[in-house]
Structure 1
Amino acid sequence: MTGFCEQAWQHTGTLQRAVLEHPFNEELAAGTLSRDRFQFYLAQDARYLVGFGRALAVAAARAPEPDGLTFFAGAAHEAVVVERALHESYFREFGLDEAGLAAIETSPTCLAYTSYLLAVAQAEGYPELVAALLPCFWVYQHVGTSILRRGSGGRGDSANPYQAWIDTYADEEFARSVDAAKAAVDAAAAGADPATRERMLGHFVRATEYEWMFWDSAYRMEAWPTTHLR
């Protein structure tokens, strides 16, 4: 029998293709993405990861088995500490200091996605929460490995200014984290009733939609439409 994760991935096939084909990721793969767009993305991602890390910590606290506790606790640390180091290396390269970073306002999509995950952590159970968290792992791995497979941004391609980002998410260690997240979700689904599994699928789909929206908002350098009304 096909596991929940495989079914959820097949269910979101159109979305997954749209993520790969989005101009942000096409240009990131080619190394032609504008620095302003990537810088805007990094600022949003740094803020998103704080909320993501908090949701991961809730998943760790609710995990029914020690393996889940240690994985999600470790993932929370990775999100807040390790991935932040990747952001900061680019910020230094771009000459973006704290004042410059603060001048980039949190986008509506970034706030919405982060708030969504924290709402699931607050109002839903462990199975629904881990299903909502999984796309952030899996979609990023899919983007990184797909770029390498098709020959753009190949590992060690010093000509691509975004190579460090590509290598991070195409890395074998990150793949092991994705596999652990998938195993936790499949285990939660295996012990869930049909109604819970349906909610899990709904959250997986919604979070995958937010992944597409996050890159789209970065490409558009999304601003609040009410800025002029403040």
Structure 2
Amino acid sequence: MADARDAQSYALALTVLLVAEWLYLDWGSLPHATPADWLHAEWIDLHRGDAFAAWVQLLKDETDRVAALADDATRQRMADMFVRAVELEAEFFDATYAAGAAQ
């Protein structure tokens, strides 16, 4: 997200990364048939399992730590960025699934 990048804020970059990785962990943890294409299979495998779950937990813990140390304005910006990132990820998945259904 350009807003997080342009802010050059560790707190906001961390927030956006948390949203993306957490959603991919949830998505990767769903039961999927393994695609025949190795690239797609690898992408799914990358986003599931204990190692990836540990990575997401680290991001959650670090986000909580940074928010606890931040001032009220930064915490509010983090919360707003979290909501916006979730909205954008949802739009991405909706568009992707709609395009796949149309094929």
Q: How does the TM-score come out when normalised to structure 2?
A: 0.77
Question: Which ranges of 4 or more aligned residues in structure 1 deviate by more than 3 Å?
Answer: none
Q: Secondary structure at the match of 1:183?
A: helix
Do the aligned partners of 1:133 and 1:207 also contact (CA within 8 Å) in 2? no
The residue aligned with 2:64 is 186
* 1:214 is aligned to 2:85: no
Higher relative contact order (CA 8 A, sep 6+): 2
The residue aligned with 1:136 is 20
Aligned equivalents of 2:26, 2:62: Cα separation in 1:
18
Superposed CA RMSD: 2.1
May I ask how many residue pairs the two structures share in their alignment? 95
Cα pair distance change 1:129/1:168, threshold 3 Å: closer
Q: 5+ unaligned residues in a row in structure 1: which ranges?
A: 1-116, 154-158, 222-230
The residue aligned with 1:161 is 35
Q: Structure 1 counterpart of 2:49, which letter?
A: D
Aligned equivalents of 2:49, 2:34: Cα separation in 1:
17
Aligned equivalents of 2:34, 2:61: Cα separation in 1:
33
**Residue 197 of structure 1, CA deviation:** 0.8
Q: Secondary structure at the match of 1:170?
A: coil
Give CA deviations for 1:47-87 in whole Å, capped at 9, x if unaligned.
Answer: xxxxxxxxxxxxxxxxxxxxxxxxxxxxxxxxxxxxxxxxx
Q: How does the TM-score come out when normalised to structure 1?
A: 0.37
